[in-house]
Amino acid sequence: MQEETWLRALAWTDYRLAVLFTVIIPLILLIWAFIKRADVIQHLLIIYWRVASLLLITLYLMIPQWSIGFLSGWVARILIPISLWFWVDLNEEINDQRRRPLKLAFTAWRWAVTIYCALGVLVTIPLWRCTFSEGAIKTPFCRAWLELPQRYKEIFHPDSEPGFLGFLAIMGLIVYVIYIGYFVLVRLGKQGRSAMEQ
pLDDT in tens, the chain (198 residues): 676 788 889 999 999 999 999 999 999 999 999 999 999 999 999 999 999 999 999 999 999 999 999 999 999 999 999 999 999 889 999 988 888 999 999 999 999 999 999 999 998 898 888 988 878 888 888 899 999 999 999 999 999 999 999 999 999 999 999 999 999 898 888 887 877 754
Rg (the chain; Cα; Å): 18
| Alpha carbon distances (Å) from 62 to 25, 66, 129, 150 | 24, 6, 15, 8
- Contact in structure between 32 and 105 (CB atoms under 8 Å): yes
- pLDDT at position 194 is 78
Residue 99's Cβ-side half-sphere holds a number of Cα atoms within 13 Å equal to 1
Residues near 4 by Cβ (< 8 Å), separated by ≥ 6? 140, 144
Model confidence, pTM: 0.92
CA dist., res. 158 & res. 153, Å (int): 6
The pLDDT of residue 197 is 58
**What are the two backbone dihedrals, phi and then psi, of residue 99, each rounded to the nearest 5 degrees?**
-70, 105
What per-residue confidence (pLDDT) applies to 198? 41
Inter-residue contact 79 to 118 (CB < 8 Å): no
Task: Note whether 52 and 22 are within 8 A (CB).
Answer: yes
pLDDT at 99: 86
